[in-house]
Amino acid sequence: MKIGIVCYPTYGGSGVVATELGMALAAKGHQVHFISYAQPFRLDTINENIFYHEVNFNSYPLFEYPPYELALASKLVDIVKFEKLQLLHVHYAIPHASAAFLAKEILKTYQIHIPVITTLHGTDITLVGKDATYEPVVTFSINQSDGVTAVSQFLKDDTYRHFNIKKKIEVIPNFINLQRFQRLKKEHFRKALAPHDEKIIVHTSNFRPVKRIEDVLKIFQKLRNHVTAKLILIGDGPDRKHAEDLCRQMNYCADIRFIGKVDAVEEILSISDLFLMPSESESFGLAALEAMACEVPLITTNAGGLPELNVDGITGFNSPVGDTEKMANDALFILEDNHLPGFKKRAWERAKEFDVAKILPLYENYYKKIVGGDS
């Protein structure tokens, strides 16, 4: 099948999932065309079935903001016509679903029908989509899609709750490439970060308010009163400066490392003992799944789709948002020498349920259903 994948090329979860999906499809023999304003950062493989098309858009004095949505729609028309695509799979509703609808309507004038599948990832619904500025367009674009998927049951339910959606939404969870995400032998690396065999706690995010970085630091502060540990913070974003200021106030800066954006995040996860995700909302928790695949148990909130991934008391613990006292106590329980090996093993076993080899056929079957017109 010839498939066009539209996604954001940045570090966000939707771009990661879209890119990994495209690479897996290409490995199965499908022809995959990525369409975005920059090459997706996870697109790091060469395959005869993978193509990348950059969306170019110019700035004019008339426009305060370049009209990316129009440029994307025009590019989609061009690629569908020239490459004879059979399906467009757009990830993240804004603005990809509306651009795909516009392209689909234009292609009708050429007697070309192109089915469109929209995958909802989270903030396109739970945050941006609920903004009154965008809600009518989001609702319309989803309803005009030939197929709609969501990455968790929570996100599906939330979409129906807040939008007047008439389409059936299929839940296809996020997945993990277990050939890449696995616990690697990096003992020399661990020794460099924890020279006295301290426990290594890790958090990765885009440092936005919804990730509650302050709670990460509070949990670590409570842990440090009982165990020697190091905290590794991966990522960057608007709340990093605030986190750095808090770190200095806590006098734990020597035990906290801000390492910014890291491509080979699995190398850090492979030397970690515990992953913290005290988010206010997560539609799925892809970063948590990556940690589990590297045998790292979880401390998460019970928000959004996280309880669908992190099995309370088995792969880690879930807590109410903001309850850093419980999170710290649960973390101490996991880190006990007689508990930690079991949690690590069960985290790995749970991650295997989301292996791309198991999830990819769900997408392939859904593609066949939509292209065949059975929507």
Q: What is the pLDDT of residues 240-291, one digit of tens each?
A: 999 999 988 888 888 999 999 888 899 999 999 999 999 999 999 999 999 9
Q: Token match 């795909």: residue? A: 100
- With 80 as the cut, is the pLDDT of residue 292 above it? yes
For the cut 60, the answer to whether the pLDDT of residue 375 exceeds it is no
What residues contact 112, with CB distance under 8 A and at least 6 apart? 80, 81
Q: Is 169 exposed, middle or buried (0-12, 13-18, 19+ CB in 10 A)?
A: buried
**Distance (Å, whole) CA 284 – CA 310:** 10
Question: Which of the pair, 2 or 39, is modelled with greater confidence?
Answer: 2
Instruction: Determine the Cα–Cα distance for residues 162 and 203; give it in Å rounded to an integer.
Output: 30
Q: With 90 as the cut, is the pLDDT of residue 146 above it?
A: yes
Alpha-carbon span 122 to 254, nearest angstrom = 35
Express each pLDDT in 179-197 by its tens digit: 889 988 877 888 888 999 9
- Write down all domains in the chain, each with its CATH number in brackets: 2-175+355-371 (3.40.50.2000), 187-352 (3.40.50.2000)
Type and span of the H or E element at 155: helix 153-162
pTM surpassing 0.75?
yes
Q: What is the pLDDT of residue 345?
A: 97
Pairing of strands 147-150, 229-234: unpaired
Backbone phi and psi for residue 82, each to the nearest 5 degrees, phi listed first: -75, -40
Percentage of residues of the chain with pLDDT beyond 70: 96
Write the CA distances from 252 to 8, 81, 287, integer angstroms. Answer: 36, 58, 25
b/e sequence 145-164, b meaning 16+ C-beta within 10 Å: bbbbbbbbebbbebbeeebe
Closest listed residue to residue 7, CA positions, set 43, 31, 36? 36
User: What distance in Å separates the CA atoms of residue 189 and residue 194, rounded to the nearest whole number?
Assistant: 9
Position 266: which residue type? E
Question: Are the CB atoms for 227 and 332 separated by under 8 Å?
Answer: yes
**Which strands sit side by side in the sheet containing 274-277, from one edge to the other?**
256-260, 229-234, 199-204, 274-277, 298-301, 316-319
